[in-house]
């Protein structure tokens, strides 16, 4: 069991590292996992390796002493290094501390672990003074938790904030119990409580897997959903082209014969037959128009990229929608950073914002507030379209990006608007996120990667 837990911790550390190895905070998170595994390395040596090879080691005292030394060093690194690496993860996860402050904390905080190395006998017995340990370990832990919580509270980017929330839950709570079992319980002379950490790590691993699949922790679910939607859109685009071609041919025949019927009705003076022919022609034209609209919304988006002004585009959209806004008595609130410029397709972006704004207005038939925002976080340029309308039910929310899914019971809506918006965002290497609560309203976030932001002199 202990060997399994050891490999689980290493797997978690590597899993975290591979999400973004260039980020300092991610590297410290990985270091926290590997340092924390030191205690289990000691346990594996003492309770698995040495008993299993007892007969062999009895004749090899040098090997036995080496294993004991490795065990003691591993345990020391775990108990002294874990509070420090966790503090470094928290410090480097913050955006409100300057690089100079972070480095100062990094080097000053190292004094205490080095002090423990100086005063603690490691071999042949590891003898900690746990009262001294607790005196600095607990403040380290509390300060680390405070930094992570403050960073979460200050975060404006909803994608990053959601990730921060699950990160805090999956790190702070398990480490709280780990610190109790390693340090606090040993003050009470309970030196076996550390074994409960195996249960803590097991639960943490299960939660990470579950949250990754359900909520997109570290981007896992986002990749799965992206592949599913992308493959669906490709299949529909191909299918729509085939169906459109077939229907056009058949509707062409219907129109031809309807025209001949109309001519015959004129020649034989049969007004009722002429009316029937006109109905056939109107119906066939309606079928063509409907198929063209569906194909246009399913077509593969080709971007014509150039520098564009998202604030100006949002302003143009609200101006064009003024008749709808006035008719439905909707209050429009705009919070736009006018200095931001984006490299992308301005025409497609305008169509996306128009679609989202129209959806918002249609959800506020009896009035409400349309809130438009444009701002820059440390990872994304973000556009939000929020309404105080009817909202989307929990049952419907997972399906709103699916092609042909619609909550609107009208013959003019094909449920392709949000699929189109999603497609445009994918072409911009961005993301579209929808948050909604029935009876309170809906907010749609458009996340453009920061690499598409054009830095101007005014910034």
* Same domain flag for 292 and 318: no
Of residues 401 and 21, the one with the higher pLDDT is 21
Residue 224 has pLDDT above 60, yes or no: no
**23-82 pLDDT, tens per residue?**
899 899 999 999 999 989 998 998 889 988 888 888 888 899 999 999 999 999 999 999
Q: Which long-range contacts (CB under 8 A, 24 or more apart) does 175-180 make?
A: 175/82, 175/86, 175/141, 176/141, 178/36, 178/82, 179/83, 179/137, 179/138, 179/141
* Same domain flag for 208 and 230: no
CB-CB contact of 91 with 143 (8 Å)? no
Distance between CA 85 and CA 102 in Å, rounded?
13
Backbone φ, ψ for residue 445 (5° rounding)? -110, 130
HSE-CB for 4 with a 13 A CA cutoff: 6
Residue 291 has pLDDT above 70, yes or no: no
Q: How many domains does the chain have?
A: 3
* Same domain flag for 331 and 441: yes
Residue 344 has pLDDT above 60, yes or no: yes
* Same domain flag for 173 and 317: no
Residue 112 has pLDDT above 50, yes or no: yes
- Classify residue 351: in a domain, yes or no: yes
β pairing state of 341-344 and 453-454: antiparallel
**Domain closes at, from 184, 215, 246:** 215
What CATH number does residue 178 fall under?
Answer: 1.20.1070
* Same domain flag for 15 and 55: yes
Average pLDDT (166-187) is 91
Which residues contact residue 207 at a Cβ distance below 8 angstroms, ignoring those fewer than 6 apart?
Answer: 169, 170
Residue 383 in tokens: 């556009």
Which residues contact residue 24 at a Cβ distance below 8 angstroms, ignoring those fewer than 6 apart?
Answer: 92
Residue 342 has pLDDT above 90, yes or no: yes
* Same domain flag for 203 and 233: no
Distance between CA 58 and CA 64 in Å, rounded?
8
Tell me what the pLDDT averaged over the chain comes to.
Answer: 83
Average pLDDT (351-361) is 90
Average pLDDT (189-212) is 85
CA angle 310-156-369, nearest 5°?
Answer: 65
Q: Residue 2 CB: number of other CB atoms within 10 A?
A: 16
Please report which residue ranges of 45-124 form alpha helices under DSSP H.
50-52, 54-58, 61-93, 99-109, 111-119
* Same domain flag for 157 and 51: yes
| pLDDT score for 411 | 45
| pLDDT score for 27 | 92
| pLDDT score for 370 | 94
CB-CB contact of 318 with 332 (8 Å)? yes
Bridge partners for 383 per DSSP:
374, 446
**Domain closes at, from 263, 298, 333:** 298
Q: pLDDT tier at 172 (50, 70, 90 boundaries)?
A: very high
Q: pLDDT tier at 412 (50, 70, 90 boundaries)?
A: very low
**Domain closes at, from 298, 333, 359:** 298
| pLDDT score for 323 | 86
- Give the residue numbers spanning the domain of 47: 2-215
> Is the pTM of the predicted complex or chain greater than 0.75?
no
Average pLDDT (451-457) is 78
* Same domain flag for 278 and 315: no
Longest distance between any two alpha carbons in the chain, whole Å = 118
Smallest CA-to-CA distance from 453 within 433, 437, 429, 436 is with 429
* Same domain flag for 266 and 402: no
Q: pLDDT tier at 219 (50, 70, 90 boundaries)?
A: very low
- Classify residue 459: in a domain, yes or no: no
Of residues 265 and 444, the one with the higher pLDDT is 444
CB-CB contact of 435 with 394 (8 Å)? no
Q: pLDDT tier at 244 (50, 70, 90 boundaries)?
A: low
Report the percent of the chain where pLDDT is more than 70: 83
Average pLDDT (423-445) is 88
| pLDDT score for 206 | 85
| pLDDT score for 185 | 93
Q: pLDDT tier at 222 (50, 70, 90 boundaries)?
A: very low
Place of tokens 């999400």: 19
| pLDDT score for 408 | 57
Backbone dihedral region of 429: left (phi > 0), alpha (psi from -120 to 50 degrees) or beta? left
* Same domain flag for 380 and 355: yes
| pLDDT score for 301 | 63
Written as one string, the DSSP assignment of 138-161 is: HHHHHHHHHHHHHHHHH---HHHH
Of residues 284 and 221, the one with the higher pLDDT is 284
* Same domain flag for 292 and 431: no
* Same domain flag for 294 and 205: no
Bridge partners for 384 per DSSP:
373, 445
Q: Helix, strand or coil for residue 45?
A: helix
Backbone φ, ψ for residue 382 (5° rounding)? -120, 130
| pLDDT score for 237 | 53
Residue 272 has pLDDT above 90, yes or no: no
| pLDDT score for 4 | 81
């Amino acid at each position: 069991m202990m060997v399994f837990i050891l490999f689980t911790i290493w797997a978690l550390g590597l899993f975290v590292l591979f999400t973004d190895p260039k980020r300092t905070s991610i590297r410290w998170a990985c270091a926290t996992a590997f340092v924390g595994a030191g205690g289990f390395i000691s346990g594996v040596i003492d309770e698995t390796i040495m008993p299993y090879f007892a007969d062999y080691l009895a004749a090899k005292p040098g090997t036995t002493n080496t294993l004991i030394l490795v065990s003691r060093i591993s345990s020391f690194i775990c108990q002294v290094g874990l509070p420090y690496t966790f503090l470094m993860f928290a410090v480097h996860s913050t955006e409100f501390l300057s690089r100079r402050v972070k480095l100062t904390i990094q080097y000053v905080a190292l004094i205490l672990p080095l002090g423990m190395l100086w005063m603690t006998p490691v071999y042949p017995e590891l003898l900690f003074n746990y009262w001294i340990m607790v005196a600095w370990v607990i403040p380290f832990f509390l300060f680390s938790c405070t930094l992570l919580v403050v960073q979460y509270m200050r975060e404006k980017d909803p994608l990053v904030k959601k990730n921060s929330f699950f990160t805090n839950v999956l790190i702070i709570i398990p480490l709280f119990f780990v610190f109790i079992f390693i340090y606090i319980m040993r003050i009470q002379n309970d030196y076996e409580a550390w074994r409960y950490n195996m249960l803590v790590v097991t639960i943490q691993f299960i939660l990470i897997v579950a949250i990754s699949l359900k909520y997109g922790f570290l981007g896992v679910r986002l990749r799965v959903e992206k592949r599913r939607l992308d493959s669906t859109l490709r299949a529909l685009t191909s299918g729509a082209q085939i169906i459109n071609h077939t229907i056009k041919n058949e509707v062409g025949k219907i129109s031809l014969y309807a025209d001949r019927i109309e001519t015959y009705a004129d020649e034989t003076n049969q007004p009722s037959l002429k009316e029937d022919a006109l109905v056939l022609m109107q119906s066939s034209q309606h079928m063509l128009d409907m198929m063209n609209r569906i194909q246009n919304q399913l077509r593969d988006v080709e971007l014509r990229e150039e520098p564009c002004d998202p604030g100006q585009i949002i302003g143009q959209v609200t101006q064009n929608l003024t008749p709808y806004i006035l008719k439905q008595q909707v209050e429009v609130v705009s919070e736009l950073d006018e200095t931001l410029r984006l490299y992308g397709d301005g025409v497609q972006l305008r169509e996306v914002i128009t679609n989202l704004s129209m959806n918002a207005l249609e959800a506020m038939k009896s009035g409400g507030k349309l809130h438009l925002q444009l701002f820059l976080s440390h990872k994304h340029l973000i556009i939000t379209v929020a309404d105080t309308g009817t909202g989307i039910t929990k049952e419907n929310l997972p399906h709103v990006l699916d092609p042909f899914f619609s909550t609107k019971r009208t013959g003019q809506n094909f449920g392709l608007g949000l699929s189109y918006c999603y497609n445009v965002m994918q072409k911009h290497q961005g993301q579209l996120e929808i948050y909604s609560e029935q009876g309170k309203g809906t907010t749609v976030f458009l996340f453009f990667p920061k690499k598409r932001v054009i830095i101007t002199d005014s910034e």
